[in-house]
Structure 1
Amino acid sequence: MGPLGLARLVTELCSERKAEEVVLLDIRRSTVIADYFVICSGTSERHLGALSEEIREELGRQGERGRRVEGSPRSGWILLDYGSVIVHLFSRAERDYYRLERLWAAATPVLRLE
């Protein structure tokens, strides 16, 4: 699966699992660390944990192995690193605090789901 297909799959999984404000950003022109960011918000610690688990399980079934997982539901920010795609799962408060969309304003929005 290519990077855009992987990013779109993650976006769909987040949406299906009721994540809020799902955003897919193309960051290729801004950095070499990845091709895409998927950013979304969970409604609780339990929801963040479930989103993280579902993404990792489904991508594993698709043969995609994550490089690294950082953070925890309790911290309010979980980062799933799939190389070309980095997934940011935030609590509402942490997302408001870090404002990744603002930091990466030069990125091209590919998809926004409210």
Structure 2
Amino acid sequence: MNSNDLMEKCLLACDDKRAEDIVAIDMEGISDITDYFIVCHGNSDKQVQAIARNVKDEAEINDVNVKRLEGFNEARWVLVDLGDVVVHVFHREERDYYNLERLYKDAPLITLNEVMS
């Protein structure tokens, strides 16, 4: 599975658990570590965990190795590292604080609407 297909599957997995403000940041040419960051948030610890779990499950269904899953128990910022795609699932307050979109403001953003159309 190529990184673009994986990114789209991860966006849809986040949406399936009603994540909010889901965006993908195109990291090609910016980072040697990954092709895409996906950023979204949930409004409770349980929702953050459900989103992260759904991304992990979707990856495993598609034979994608989950390299790392960090922050799951605390559910404030869960990182799901799939290699070519890294998914950041924040609790609302932490997303506002860390604001990864601002950090990579020069990188192209891909929205869920773009993927669904």
The corresponding residue for 1:29 is 29
Query: What displacement does 1:47 show?
Result: 0.5
Q: Does residue 78 of structure 1 match 2:73?
A: no
> Which stretch of the first structure deviates more once superposed, 61-70 or 86-95?
61-70
Match of 1:8 in 2: 8
Match of 2:67 in 1: 67
Look up the SS of the partner of 1:4 in the other structure. helix
Matches for 1:19-58 after TM superposition, within 5 Å = 19-58=19-58
Secondary structure of the residue aligned to 1:72 is: coil
SS of residue paired to 2:66: coil
Give the partner amino acid of 2:11: T
State, as a whole percentage, how many aligned pairs show the same letter: 34
> How far apart, in 2, do the equivalents of 1:104 and 1:11 lie?
18
- How far apart are 1:112 and its partner, in Å? 4.7
State the shift of 1:72 in Å. Answer: 2.5
User: 2:12·2:112 contact (CA, 8 Å) conserved in 1?
Assistant: no
**Distance in 1, Cα, partners of 2:98 & 2:75:** 13
Work out the number of aligned pairs and report it.
113
Bigger Cα displacement from structure 2, 67-76 vs 26-35? 67-76
User: TM (normalized to structure 1)?
Assistant: 0.93
1:17 aligns with 2:17: yes
| Long gaps (5+) in structure 1 | none
Q: TM-score, normalised by structure 2?
A: 0.91
Unmatched segments (≥5 aa) in structure 2 = none
More strand, by proportion: 1
Q: Is the 8 A contact 2:9 2:58 kept in 1?
A: no
Tell me the C-alpha RMSD between the 2 structures: 1.3
Q: Secondary structure at the match of 1:11?
A: helix
